[in-house]
Structures are given as structure tokens and as C-alpha cells.
């Protein structure tokens, strides 16, 4: 699931203010160059060796370790922070975030719950918790989402909240409700590209490749830089025996995002590249 929510990289910039005004901000996921991240990690480690009590440096180190997929090391640093302040909502959230990205869903759920309890009101943690419940088919996802949808302070996250509800319904094979909510998201926020993809995937899984292609194509008509849209268009075109169109769109998706290895593999399979 790809929520348009607040990444940990900007979390500390607004957390305490958010606790006071119960607000939240919707941001795109942060990206980092691996080489740059390694340099920053070394610099932070050097500074920490000089000032081991500087929590802000350790927080920055945790952030960089998570961004470079070094989750074990990140968790070690979070434990140092939690030892000093075990009830900090921010540090509990950081641990949950690292656990989720490490693949420990059970642990992540536990620490998101603890961060919410410690903060009282913590919309970002609630949303992340709901998304984990949705992905595991746990009906608690709907309970959290309904509470958040009634909370005026979470209005900026409305599309994300609805998206989580749709993902839950899709997970439990309630296609009718999943499609209904994807349509609601698109009606309220037509730029929410992930909704077109997920709606298209519902039709794709049903074997309705023409309708799936239509939804994927709609996403690229809104943003011609949306690599995932072109990739899924190509997947549907393959199913529709439109090989040349599929090749063209696999190439477009790869030109926009070199990390879509499936597009490269598909081009090799179709004989378009060696």
C-alpha cells in the first residue's frame, strides 16, 4: 500500500505542534541517495562519539539508517533513546516505523498502539496502524478509519483514510465496497493516483483486463510521469495480446523509474531488449 502520508523524515518537525493543535500534514515519501546516506551516517556517528547525550543527533542517525534499509542498526539506536525516555510517542513511533519496514508487522502494530496511547491524539500513527490492520484483513482497520473520518483534525488525511478502508475491503474480497470507496476517493481527489491503480487491479484480478487498462490509463492521463501507471498499462496490454503497446509502456515505465525491475524483465521476455 502506498499512502500519501507523513514520512518519519519530517516527523520531528511537526510532532509536538501536532499534539497541541491536533493537526497533521500530508507529504510525499522521502527519498535518499544511498551514497549520500552513507556519508551522512558516518558524519552522525562521528558527532555522536563526541556528544553521546545529543538526542537530536541520534534521532537523525535513526532516520538515515531507516532510509538506507539498515533496520537492525536503527532499532539499536531507538532503544538507546527509549531507555532515556520510554514513554516518548515520537520514539515509540520511530520504533514502530523501523519494525514495519523490517517486516515485523506484529511488533509494528504493538508499538504504533503504544505511541498512540502515549500521545493521546496521534493521527499519523493511527493511520499507519489502520493500514497494517487493513493489509492483514483485520476489521480493526475499519474501526480506526471511522473514528478518524469523524475527527476534523484529520481532514487532510481523508483520502488516505478512505484508501485504507478500500484496501481492507479488497483484502477480505468485498469487491463491491472496495470499488465504491476507490470511486469516492477519485471523486473527491482526482489526483490520488494510487486509487486508479488499486481500482484497476481489482478488475485485473477479476480478469477484466480492458477495464483494468482503462483505469491504469486514467492515472497516466493525470500524470504523464507516473511510472506505475505505464507499467500496469503494459501488464494489461500483454493480457489483451497488444504486445507492441505493452513493450512501449514497459519502456516508458522504466524510463521514469529504473527500479521497476519487472518492466526490464518483461522487455527481455518479449524480446525487446537483450
Contacts of 101 (CB under 8 A, 6+ apart): 66, 69, 71
Q: How many Å apart are CA 144 and CA 115, to the nearest integer?
A: 15
Classify the C-alpha dihedral 222-224-226-227 as positive or negative.
positive
CATH class of 1-186: mainly alpha
For the cut 70, the answer to whether the pLDDT of residue 7 exceeds it is no
Residue 262: predicted pLDDT: 96
Mean local confidence (pLDDT), 214-218: 98
Mean local confidence (pLDDT), 159-175: 97
- Using pLDDT thresholds of 50, 70 and 90, give the confidence band for residue 8: very low
For the cut 70, the answer to whether the pLDDT of residue 9 exceeds it is no
For the chain, the structural domain boundaries read 1-186, 190-274
Fold identical between 1-186 and 190-274?
yes
Q: What is the pLDDT of residues 54-100, one digit of tens each?
A: 889 989 999 999 999 999 999 999 999 999 999 999 999 999 999 99
Q: What is the pLDDT of residues 12-65, one digit of tens each?
A: 433 433 333 333 333 334 444 566 778 888 888 888 889 989 889 989 999 999
Mean local confidence (pLDDT), 249-262: 96
How many helices (H) does the chain have, and how many strands (E)?
A: 15, 0
Q: How many Å apart are CA 164 and CA 142, to the nearest integer?
A: 8
Mean local confidence (pLDDT), 181-202: 97
Residue 33: predicted pLDDT: 58
Mean local confidence (pLDDT), 151-179: 95
- Using pLDDT thresholds of 50, 70 and 90, give the confidence band for residue 3: low
Domain topology for 190-274: 1.25.40
Mean local confidence (pLDDT), 190-212: 97
- Cell numbers 491536533 label which residue? 22
- Its pTM stands at 0.80
Mean local confidence (pLDDT), 233-251: 98
Residue 40: predicted pLDDT: 87
Mean local confidence (pLDDT), 136-143: 96
Q: Mean pLDDT in the chain? A: 88
Classify the C-alpha dihedral 213-219-222-224 as positive or negative.
negative
Residue 25: predicted pLDDT: 35
Q: What is the 3-state secondary structure (H, E, C) of 11-78?
A: HHHHHHHHHHHCCCCCCCCCCCCHHHHHHHHHHHHHHHHHCCCCHHHHHHHHHHHHHCCCHHHHHHHH
Amino acid at each position: 500500500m502506498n499512502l500519501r502520508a507523513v514520512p518519519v523524515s519530517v516527523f520531528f518537525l511537526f510532532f509536538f505542534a501536532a499534539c497541541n493543535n491536533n493537526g497533521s500534514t500530508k507529504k510525499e515519501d522521502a527519498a535518499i541517495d544511498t551514497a549520500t546516506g552513507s556519508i551522512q551516517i558516518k558524519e552522525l556517528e562521528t558527532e555522536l562519539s563526541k556528544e553521546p547525550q545529543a538526542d537530536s543527533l541520534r534521532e537523525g542517525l535513526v532516520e538515515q539508517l531507516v532510509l538506507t534499509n539498515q533496520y537492525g542498526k536503527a532499532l539499536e539506536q531507538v532503544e538507546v533513546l527509549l531507555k532515556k525516555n520510554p514513554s516518548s510517542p515520537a520514539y515509540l513511533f520511530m520504533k514502530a516505523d523501523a519494525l514495519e519496514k523490517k517486516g515485523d508487522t506484529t511488533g509494528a502494530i504493538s508499538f504504533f498502539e503504544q505511541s498512540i496511547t502515549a500521545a493521546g491524539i496521534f493521527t499519523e500513527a493511527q493511520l499507519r496502524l489502520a493500514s497494517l490492520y487493513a493489509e492483514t484483513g483485520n476489521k480493526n482497520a475499519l474501526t480506526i478509519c471511522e473514528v478518524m473520518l469523524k475527527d476534523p483534525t484529520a481532514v487532510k488525511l481523508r483520502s488516505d483514510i478512505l484508501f485504507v478502508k478500500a484496501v481492507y475491503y479488497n483484502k477480505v474480497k468485498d469487491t463491491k465496497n472496495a470499488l465504491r470507496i476507490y470511486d469516492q476517493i477519485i471523486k473527491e481527489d482526482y489526483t490520488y493516483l494510487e486509487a486508479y491503480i488499486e481500482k484497476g487491479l481489482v478488475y485485473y484480478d477479476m480478469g477484466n483486463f480492458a477495464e483494468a487498462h482503462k483505469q491504469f490509463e486514467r492515472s497516466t492521463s493525470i500524470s504523464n510521469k507516473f511510472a506505475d501507471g505505464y507499467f500496469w498499462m503494459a501488464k494489461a496490454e500483454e493480457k489483451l495480446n497488444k504486445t507492441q503497446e505493452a513493450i512501449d509502456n514497459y519502456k516508458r515505465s522504466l524510463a521514469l523509474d529504473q527500479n521497476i525491475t519487472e518492466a526490464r524483465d518483461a522487455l527481455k521476455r518479449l524480446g525487446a531488449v537483450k
